[in-house]
Amino acid sequence: MRRRRFSRLHKESWFVTKSSLVWIKVMRLQPFSVPGPLLFIRRISRVSVCPEKSAMDLVSGYKGVVGLVFGNEKSGSSNEDSYVECLLDCISNGKLSEDRRTAMLELQSVVAESSNAQLAFGAMGFPVMMGILKEERDDVEMVRGALETLVSALTPIDHAKGPKNEIQPALMNADLLSREADNISLLLSLLSEEDFYVRYYTLQLLTALLTNSPNRLQEAILTIPRGITRLMDMLMDHEVIRNEALLLLTYLTHEAEEIQKIVVFEGAFEKIFSIIKEEGGSDGGVVVQDCIELLNNLIRKNASNQVLLRETIGFDPFMSILKLRGSTYSFTQQKTINLLSALETLNLLIMGGSEADHGKDANMLTNRTTLVQKKVLDHLLMLGVESQWAPVAVRCAVR
């Protein structure tokens, strides 16, 4: 359990706990270590989160604190809904900006660690968070917190002791958030914000939605004007943003022919090979792998996109991935993966497209002829036969 350390407090202080949800007075508290669920430590003049409770609530709250300190697990989970509700109420109605931001930070932490909190958040938290994203754009810190909290709410929590067939609250939350196309449109609009973390968390949130509800999000993005264009623009952003956008586009283009066509018309091929070159070709890291996987999504069983690739930038940039450089070749695990992905690209080009494509045979013949002219066989011989350093997996893939 995470613990927070506090220095000596004022003689009279107040705090609220996750299990009790009541304010309890503390006298002359010395330095001590408290469990993560303790949220606020404030002077009485700063109290603004939870309303006053009855005497019975105070007693139950005292028992809750004792349970937290001495290991009563039931008390920690019984009031999770009320705790989340209290935090959301503070975020919505709190008068002090500091209290609202502190409540947001605690909500994000609780939702990231507790499935019960995720479930409670899904029942009442989305309107509050989306309201912040829509109406409080100028408060960057609150927007960041709302996005990070939404990401946590959509991230499954692995509980080894839980039933295997139990539905994850994160999946239910993704379904709830993706039901409204306006929510997706709002998230895409955040990609134009100047703040780095706003764009970063927005991409993470969209990726989480795609992971859990791919079909619904694909349909929503197709109906949003310039939706895909905004995502493609992220490939020219900061390196960290670019890498998140690559992962997102890989999920987005999976078995989505209409989206694949739009992505290609937005200059995907040029951007993909530019990034691959910048990252060092087959010697690059996982970013190169992501680029090649995105490329394969765009041309898999898609003859028209293969034609565009061949007739716009040609096969030369692709051939450079297969080319081994230097007198002594080193094959790291990542380089092997990159080459195997590139060999899959080659196989897709040789196949020419799906059986449903009317021009499949003609495209297949043209692709093969062009590849031979680009001396693809020389590269394959080097990888499969001549290079004594090539891994067995690469040699087998060539054959």
CA separation for the pair 60, 14 (Å, rounded): 17
pLDDT for 1 beyond 70: no
CATH of the domain at 357: 1.25.10.10
In a domain? residue 2: no
In a domain? residue 315: yes
What proportion of the chain, given as a percentage, has pLDDT over 70? 73
In a domain? residue 74: no
CA separation for the pair 397, 399 (Å, rounded): 5
In a domain? residue 342: yes
**Structural domain span for residue 382:** 284-399
In a domain? residue 58: no
Tell which residue, 238, 294, 292, has the closest CA to residue 263: 294
In a domain? residue 378: yes
**pTM recorded for the entire structure:** 0.77
Per-residue pLDDT tens digits for 258-308: 999 999 999 999 999 999 999 999 999 999 999 999 999 999 989 999 999
Per-residue pLDDT tens digits for 120-137: 999 899 999 999 999 999
In a domain? residue 162: no
Per-residue pLDDT tens digits for 31-74: 333 333 334 333 223 333 444 333 334 333 433 433 343 344 44
- Which amino acid appears at position 180 of this protein? E
Burial class (CB in 10 A: 0-12, 13-18, 19+), 167: exposed
CA separation for the pair 108, 151 (Å, rounded): 9
* Domains: count for the chain: 1
Q: What is the pLDDT of residue 18?
A: 39
In a domain? residue 244: no
Q: What is the pLDDT of residue 387?
A: 60
CA separation for the pair 115, 147 (Å, rounded): 18
